[in-house]
Amino acid sequence: MNGRPAVRRATDRDIPELARMLARAFLDDPVAAWAYPPERLRLRALERFQSARLRQLVVQGEVWTSEDLSCAALWAPPLHWHSSLRETAQLLPAFAHPRLMVRVPLVAVGWELLERAHPRTPPHFYLAVLGTDPEAQGRGLGSAVLGGVIEQCDSDGVAAYLESSKERNVDFYARHGFRVLDEIKLLRGPTMWKMWRDPR
């Protein structure tokens, strides 16, 4: 129709495969390396983290994936971006190794910093995670899985927000209408970029 790769909403059945894919996608991510420094433990830790986030967000109906599950965008709908204490606790199994458990206080401070920096108003979609399997990059999948929610934002007059953990991704998001609001420096960690998109 428009040449864009086919995408669909993810279901519970997709979670294990998407968690493994997103773990691969974020293996070299600066924030992932900060949260899980030992590289040999990072892939499994990321898989547990992404599985928990997928389970939290797929029920809200705005997790979009490519047909082959090689790319996914995890959105939270307006007024549902804030993590409850229960949801935050569900992320702890990602730190189940003793060498990772010592990172929990530092990462908890970082998580709280992101939550405090998150805009409260106006209501907006929140892009919590966007990842593409390294072997599938360069095929337009990231733009495709973003497309449905961005089109909905424009048709409904709703904004969107994200934090980019890689500076090189800022230009990608800018092409989709996002602009940098500010930078967030994680404690003893990398910088993240707060980005906002007004509806068109």
pLDDT for residue 146: 97
Q: What is the pLDDT of residue 1?
A: 45
Cβ burial 16-47 (10 Å sphere, 16+ → b, else e): eebbbbbbbbbeebbbbbbbbeeeeebeebbb
Whether residue 90 lies inside any domain: the answer is yes
pLDDT at 2: 59
Of residues 130, 127, 23, 133, the one with CA closest to residue 68:
133
Residue whose structure tokens are 């190794």: 97
Task: Note down the domain range covering 57.
Answer: 7-197
What does the pLDDT look like over 174-196, one tens digit per residue? 999 999 999 999 999 999 999 99
- Ranges of the chain whose pLDDT falls below 70: 1-2
Do residues 43 and 23 lie in contact, with contact meaning Cβ atoms separated by under 8 Å?
A: yes
Decide if 77 is inside a domain. yes
**DSSP label of 95:** G
Quick check: is 42 in a domain? Answer: yes
In a domain, 132, yes or no: yes
Whichever domain contains 29, its CATH number is 3.40.630.30
Q: Is residue 138 part of a domain?
A: yes
Domain count, the chain: 1
Whether 183 is covered by a domain: the verdict is yes
Angle (nearest 5°) at CA 175 between 139 and 173: 80
Q: How far apart are CA 55 and CA 61, in angstroms?
A: 11
Indicate yes or no: pTM above 0.85. Answer: yes
Whether the Cβ atoms of residue 157 and residue 95 lie closer than 8 Å to each other: no
Signed CA dihedral, 44, 46, 49, 54: sign only: negative
